[in-house]
Chains A and B, each alone.
Chain A
Amino acid sequence: MASGVSLDREFTKGFVRENPLFILVLGTCPSLATSTTLFNGFGMGIAATFVLVCSNIVISLLRKFIPDGVRIPAFIVVIASFVTMVDLLMEGFVFSLHQSLGVFIPLIVVNCIILGRAEAFASKNGVLRSALDGLGMGLGFMAALVVMGTIREILGNGTLMAGTPYEFAPFGEGFKASPVLVMTLPPGAFLTLGLLMAGVKRLGERS
């Protein structure tokens, strides 16, 4: 598909304009579940970005060989291979992060963003475009998770960068002793996501 969109727009569209979480509202389940802290959100974002870029490249390469009727199972096999790699790599090198993300690492297989980009983009576009699309979308997803994780960690846990050696308490130890607990719980996740979506929408309407 000869697209008229320039390569840099293909790359940057995932940041804000077509942000997978705030605008397309894909991948909400892992976002709500893993954005409890900045570090968790960052880790989830890195893992998803890696899988997204790799699967987009491979699916784009194979797009002429995969029969249309079995394309979804074929995509899943490709995605699952990369998820397995990420899962094992994280277990080996960042064990504590792997522990705190838990089941949501294997669940990247069924992440709507990754399957969605494979189906909607990589299966119809060239390798370079697909890689840029995957990278942009992945970074947009990661940015969204980092923003959510930052807000929820500061308010709900009273800390920032927990899970890393640079942990500190932005509002002091007094706030850390009795933080806004609800923000680390599921209602806080929905509140944060909803308010951020409303904010991004408002920004989009202004510009």
Chain B
Amino acid sequence: MTASSNAAPEGAPVSAPPPADKVGASARPTLRVGPSPHLHGPETVPRIMRWVFLALLPAALVSVWFFGASAVKVLTLSTLFCLGVEWLCLRLMRTPGALSDWSAAVTGLLLGMNLPPTAPWWLILAGAIVAIVVAKHLFGGLGGNIFNPALTARVFLLVSWPTYMTTWLKPGQRQWLAPGTDLAGITEATPLGLLKEGRLSELSAGASDLLLGNLGGSVGEISALALLIGAAALLWKRIITWEIPAAFIGTVAAVTGLAYAIGGPERYLAPHLHVLAGGLFLGAFFMATDMVTCPITYRGRLIFGAGCGLLTAVIRLWGGYPEGVSFAILLMNAGTPMIDHYLRPRTFGTATARQGATS
């Protein structure tokens, strides 16, 4: 990892030179180049992004199976719109990046997977513009964004057009839906929606439906099993690490389990259903782990994941929205620079010199 690769999203913590202020504090001149055997990783941005794209495909295919033409439409339009907006941004704003780095394709696919299958084309276009222009390129392009672009777009759309963003198609409705089709009768509430409205007795989907994806929901969130297959590939390739998903999902299970144990099954959903329902797996494995917007240290990632989990559980149980994964991840994205600041690892050999010399 060389200094010239500033377009790379990863923080390159391995060979980063010590910060200038620490170096300048010592009287002796310091050579600021690491000793010669430099580690060279095989990872490149396009390779990582291609893997993420591939890892998302199982869940995307499951949604195509259950939602048919609607899922194909949402996923295709979202990816194409994001690529188109990215192309325009790269041309007009001259921020670093290229279409061939696959980052816009991943953002597009993720955005599509975060939308309901009934999303109209203009909703998808608005989401693509928010994701690529506002969340990504205005912050400096690939690697410069503070917030996950796909999630920023999702929250923007959810707050702006709540009705369009919460119209959930029933699984098995595979036919092409022309614009203006009456959706009454072919939509249903999600388990988390039923929980929020106090209609848990109407819940018909069980754990196996949640695993396979046989229920209404966002295009990419329905099948926990398909998401796990993709996540396993990313873990195997070491593109994501286990800390954030484990802390995230574990905290959600713990907090909702506590509420379930105290409040009882009439008012609360069982923790294993909480874990499988909604966008938790999609968020925990594919969006909270976004290299650009999550902390770089081990402890930082655990804190980040636990924070995401706590916020998600609090929003699901007591908040105004049925689902809190996207809000939770965005809020913790905002906290990432602070987590990285306070958990900066001590440079080897500098422990005594910095004792008492806190800045």
- A residues with a Cβ closer than 8 A to B are 178-183, 185, 187, 191, 195, 198
Contacts and interface: CB of A to CB of B under 8 A. Distances in A.
B138 A182 contact: no
A185 B162 CA distance: 13
B159 interface: yes
A185 B159 contact: yes
Nearest to B157: A182
Contacts of B156: 182
A151 B162 CA distance: 21
A160 B126 CA distance: 21
Contacts of B176: none
Contact of A187 (B138, B159, B161): B159
B138 A181 contact: no
Contacts of A187: 159
Nearest to A185: B159
Q: Is the contact region of chain B dominated by helix, strand, or loop, or is it mixed?
A: helix
Contact of B160 (A180, A195, A198): A180
10 contacts: A178-B161, A178-B164, A180-B126, A181-B159, A182-B156, A183-B160, A187-B159, A191-B134, A195-B138, A198-B138
Identify the interface centre among B126, B160, B164: most chain A CB within 10 Å of its CB: B160
Nearest to A180: B160
Interface in B133-179: 134, 138, 156, 159-162, 164
B134 A182 contact: no
Contacts of A198: 138
A181 B161 contact: yes
A88 B138 CA distance: 43
A117 B67 CA distance: 61
Contacts of A178: 161, 164
Contacts of B138: 195, 198
Contacts of B160: 179-183
A185 to B, nearest CB: 7
Contacts of A183: 160
A195 B162 CA distance: 24
A159 B148 CA distance: 31
A185 B160 CA distance: 9
A178 B159 CA distance: 12
Given A181-B159, A198-B138, 13 more contacts: A178-B161, A178-B164, A180-B126, A181-B160, A181-B161, A181-B162, A182-B156, A182-B159, A182-B160, A183-B160, A185-B159, A191-B134, A195-B138
Nearest to B120: A178
A93 B159 CA distance: 36
Contacts of B162: 181
A183 B156 CA distance: 9
Contacts of A182: 156, 159-160
Nearest to A191: B134
Contacts of B161: 178, 181
Nearest to A155: B160
Interface string B31-44: 00000000000000
